[in-house]
Amino acid sequence: MTTVLDSWAALRYLEDHGRAAIEVAALLAAERPVMSWINLGEVFYVIRRAAGEDAASSTVRDLRDVVVAELPDDQRILQAGRIKYDYPLAYADAFAAATAQAHDAELWTGDPELLIESAPWRWRDLR
């Protein structure tokens, strides 16, 4: 089974924060989940804001060693736009959902914007 991580899950893992960090660490020991480059960019932004350019660059480099980083193609970009139109969530979150749909994968997150009962993507709540 393929798993997709969003930036929320990656950041909790990097922060070694709670149950999410433990579950993501176990996942990374077992497989290489998929992450959209859009969500990796969001991780970069959050780390850069908190710790600077060098820390953000090395964090993304380290994550690329343990995830499959995917650049969105035109179809994925349009699907993210559809999701953003249909649901009240951030644009980067729409890429996580679109990536999960494209892989028929479970999206691991704790972001309430993505934990929608009627969503057309499957998710796992890491909170």
Q: What amino acid is encoded at 106 in this protein?
A: E
Does residue 1 register a pLDDT over 80?
no
Does residue 62 register a pLDDT over 80?
yes
Q: What is the pLDDT of residue 10?
A: 98
Angle at 98 between CA 43 and CA 41, to 5 degrees: 15
Per the structure, the count of domains in the chain is: 1
Which domain range does residue 46 map to? 3-125
Instruction: Give the CATH number for residue 17.
Output: 3.40.50.1010
How do residues 36-57 score in pLDDT, each as one tens digit?
999 999 999 999 999 999 999 9
Specify the pTM.
0.95
Q: What is the pLDDT of residue 63?
A: 98
Q: What is the pLDDT of residue 100?
A: 98
Does residue 17 register a pLDDT over 90?
no
Longest CA–CA separation in the chain, Å: 40
